[in-house]
Structure 1
Amino acid sequence: MKTALITGATSGIGNEFAHQLAAKGYRLIVTGRRAERLEQLKAQLDVPVEIIVADLSKKKECFALIKKLEEEDIDLFINNAGFGVAGSFLETDVDKEISMIKVNDIAMHILFKGILHNMQESGSGKILNVASSAGLLPGGPYMAGYYASKAYVVSLTRAVAVELKQKGSQVRVSALCPGPVDTEFNDRADVVFALKGISPKQCVAEAIKGIERNKLIIVPSLRMKLACTFSHLVPYPILMKLTARQQKKKLG
C-alpha cells in the first residue's frame, strides 16, 4: 500500500486530497492544528490514517515532524498547509502576515527539503507544493504578501525540478497553482472572491492527474489556464492595475 503525507488536512484542498487519495487506496499520514477535525477525517475514510497534530507556523514543530517521519516510506507528499492575508499593505496586521510567511514559505521549505531528502535516499517519490495562480503573476496589490509568498513556492519548485532532473533523480516535484477555490481560505483571508471559484473536488482531481503525468506547474480549470496565458501577453503596468482592481473587489 502506498503512503501519502498531507499537511493542512483539516479543511479545504488538503481535506479533499485525503478523500481522493484514500479512494485510490493510499495509506494516509495527515497533519493539522485541529485534532478533532483530523479525527473526524479519519472516521470518514476506509484506509489506515495516522494523525500528527502540528502547528507549522512554529519552526520547531516542522523539524519535529520531519524527525518523526524519518522511518516512513512516503510515496506522495502534498505540501499543502497555507493561508492568505488581504488588504492594503499599510493596513494589514504584521503579526498575521509574518505567521502567513512562516506557514506558506518557511514550513513549506523545511518540509519540502526534509521529505525530498528521504525520497532521494529511497530512490523515488512525488511532491506537490501547493502554491496559487497568484504565484505566477508579478505581484498582487491588496494581497501583496500572499502573492509574494506563493511566488516563492513556484520559484523554489521550478528550480529544484531542474536540479533533480540534472542529477538523474527519480523523484518528481510539482507546484499546484489554482485560482479561486471554494474553501475556508476566503474566511481566514477576510476576502470575498471576485471570480467564481471551482470546487475543491475539481481542483484536487486535476491536481492528481497532473501529478500522475509529472507536470511541473499544474493550473486547474481551463479558465485559469487561459487567464495565466493571457497574463504573459499583457504589459506589466496594465497587468498590475488589472490585478489591483480584482483584488480590491475581494475586500467587499
Structure 2
Amino acid sequence: MRAATRQAYRSALVTGASGGIGASFARLLAARGADLVLVARRPGPLEELARELVERYRVAVEVVAADLTDGARCAEVERRLRADPVELLVNNAGRGAPGAFAGLPLEDHLAGIELNVTALVRLTHAALPGMVGRGRGGVLNVASMAGLAPSPGGASYGATKAFVIAFSESLHAEVAAEGVHVTALCPGFTHTDDGAPPHPLWLRRDAVARAGLDAVEAGRALSVPGAQYKAALPALRLVPRPLLRAAAGRVWQQVAGGG
C-alpha cells in the first residue's frame, strides 16, 4: 500500500477548456510546467488559449475540438487518452438545464446527463487503468455544491453533480492505495468572467481552479472552495433531509414566483 504523497503533474487533459474555470485550469497547469491537451467544442477560443500558453509558459499544448455529447467525438478523446496517456485528467466540461424540470424540453436534460455523467465516466474509464498500472496519476472531476442538497430549478443538473461526487469518492477509495488521486471539486456560485464585481457568495474562477488542483495533487477526495461554502458543508451533511427539502422548496417558490 502506497502512502499518499503530493503529486506534481507533468501533463494534463482538460475538458471544457475554452473559457471559464476550464481556461483557469489550463493557465494554472501551464504555469506549473504541465504540457496540455485542451478539449472543447469551439476550436477558435481553444487555439487562442493554446497560443497564449505556449508563448507565455513554453509548454506543449494540443487542441482537440470535440463535442463530448457526440458519442463518436467522445470516443476519439478516449482513444487519445489510451494511446498517449496524461498524468492528470480534469473533467471540467458541464452544462445545466435551469428551470422547472417539467417545463423544459427533455433533450435539454438528456444533454446535460450525457455531458456531466456519461462523458465524464467514459473519459475516466479511458484514463484510470493506465494511471493505476503506472502507480501515479490524478483525476479531478468538477462537481458542484448543487450535488450536496436538493436543487429545485436545477433538478437534473444537481442530480448529475451528486453522481459525480459519489462516483469520485468511490473511485478515491478504490485507487488511493495504488498511488492514484481522484478528487471531486464542489464549487458554489462562481464568476466565469474576471470583470464581475465582488460578491460575498460568489467565487473567482482562478481561486476555484487552484483549490481543485491543490486538492488533487494532495490526494484529497473532496474540495469545497471558499470559506463561506466550507462553513455550509457541515450543515448540509447534518441537517435532516426533510428540512433541507423544505428550505430549498421555499427558495424555489420565491424564485419561481418572482418574490
TM-score (norm: length of structure 2): 0.87
How far apart, in 2, do the equivalents of 1:48 and 1:250 lie?
A: 46
CA contact (8 A) 2:140 2:213 kept: no
1:42 paired to 2:42: no
What are the ranges of 5 or more consecutive residues in structure 1 without an aligned counterpart?
A: 185-193
Cα deviation, residue 239, structure 1: 0.8
1:90 paired to 2:98: no
What is aligned with 1:21? 29
Identify which of 70, 73, 77 aligns with 2:82: 70
1:211 paired to 2:222: no
Cα deviation, residue 250, structure 1: 6.3
Secondary structure, aligned partner of 1:127:
strand
What is aligned with 1:55? 67
CA RMSD of aligned residues (A): 1.9
TM-score (norm: length of structure 1): 0.89
CA contact (8 A) 1:180 1:195 kept: no
Cα deviation, residue 121, structure 1: 2.5
How far apart, in 2, do the equivalents of 1:198 and 1:249 lie?
A: 24
1:154 paired to 2:165: yes
What is aligned with 2:181? 172
Secondary structure, aligned partner of 1:6:
strand
Secondary structure, aligned partner of 1:164:
helix
How far apart, in 1, do the equivalents of 2:254 and 2:201 lie?
A: 12
Identify which of 16, 35, 41 aligns with 1:33: 41
1:220 paired to 2:225: yes
Secondary structure, aligned partner of 1:211:
helix
CA contact (8 A) 2:147 2:165 kept: yes
TM-superposition CA deviations, 1:151-190 (whole Å, max 9, x none): 111111111111224xx31111110011111127xxxxxx
2:31 aligned partner, one-letter code: A
CA contact (8 A) 1:143 1:247 kept: no
2:152 aligned partner, one-letter code: P
How far apart, in 1, do the equivalents of 2:119 and 2:61 lie?
A: 22
1:6 aligned partner, one-letter code: V
Cα deviation, residue 219, structure 1: 0.4
CA contact (8 A) 2:81 2:126 kept: no
